[in-house]
Amino acid sequence: EILHKNWLVCWRNMTFKDLHDFPLWETQLHDIIKDAFAELQSIFLFYCGGSIAGSESIASATKIGIMEMLQFAKDTDITTKEFKLDELTRHFTSAASMDKVELTGSAARHNLVAG
C-alpha cells in the first residue's frame, strides 16, 4: 500500500536526536504519528501545494516554505501569548538553515553557517 510506503519513508527521514529525552519517547511518538499519518500527510500536501507545477524540483515542491508555515499558523491558531509568531518564524528559519547545512559538503558548510 502506497500510504504505508510513504509512512516508512517519512519516518526514516525524521530526526529527533536533538530533542529533550530522546529516545525515551520515540516508540510512543512513532505509534501516534503512524496512526495519524494519512491526515497529517493530507494537511502537509495542502500547505506545500502537493505538486511540482512551478517548482524547481520535486524536493522544493514537497517542502513547506515560510509563507505556507505562516498560513498554517494563521489557520490553526498555533501561536499563543507564550509562543508568538516571531518565535515560530525564528524556529522555522533555524530549522531550514540547518537543513541546508546538512545537505552541503563539508567545504561549503562554513559558508552557510557564517553567511
SS3 readout for the chain? CHHHHHHHHHHHHCCCCCCCCCCCCHHHHHHHHHHHHHHHHHHHHHHHCCCCCCCCCHHHHCCCCHHHHHHHHHHHCCCCCCCCHHHHHHHHHHHHHHHHHHHCCHHHHHHHHHC
Q: Do 43 and 57 have their domain in common?
A: yes
Integer Cα distance of 115 and 103 in angstroms? 16
Give, for all 115 residues of the chain, the pLDDT tens digit: 899 998 999 899 888 888 899 999 999 999 999 999 999 989 988 888 755 555 666 566 567 888 889 999 999 999 999 999 999 999 999 887 776 656 555 544 445 444 4
Q: Do 55 and 79 have their domain in common?
A: no
Total domains present in the chain: 2
Q: Do 7 and 58 have their domain in common?
A: yes
Range of the domain at 81: 64-115
- Model pTM? 0.65
